[in-house]
Amino acid sequence: MVLWNRSIPAGYKVIRLKLDSMGNIVSHEDFISGWLKKNGSPRGRPVDIEYSPEGELYLSDDLLGVVYKISGN
């Protein structure tokens, strides 16, 4: 298990930022979570989000070595 450099694990979720018309952050909320178990061990580690040229949203997980396709349905 990789703990990195924190005594209390942090992160392991993706948040959504809401911006105003000038690009300033107005609010934030959890978008996807659940990678960190209650005992502090990770189920995965989300790293990067990318859009495909077709507009599909993908999220990489470097602990499990997978890429998730995120959809609204």
Place of tokens 């859009």: 51
State yes or no: pLDDT of 5 exceeds 90.
no
Number of domains in the chain: 1
Whether 8 is covered by a domain: the verdict is no
Greatest CA separation found in the chain? 42
Domain that holds residue 24: 14-70
Domain membership of residue 22 (yes or no) is yes
pLDDT digits 0-9 by tens, 35-71: 988 888 889 999 999 999 999 999 999 999 999 999 8
Structure-token pair, residue 27: 């609010």
Task: Kindly state the average pLDDT of the residues 13-27.
Answer: 96
Does residue 41 sit within a domain? Answer: yes
Domain membership flag for residue 64: yes
For 13, phi and psi rounded to 5 degrees?
-155, 165
In a domain, 26, yes or no: yes
d(C-alpha 28, C-alpha 50), whole Å: 19
- pTM of this structure: 0.75
In a domain, 7, yes or no: no
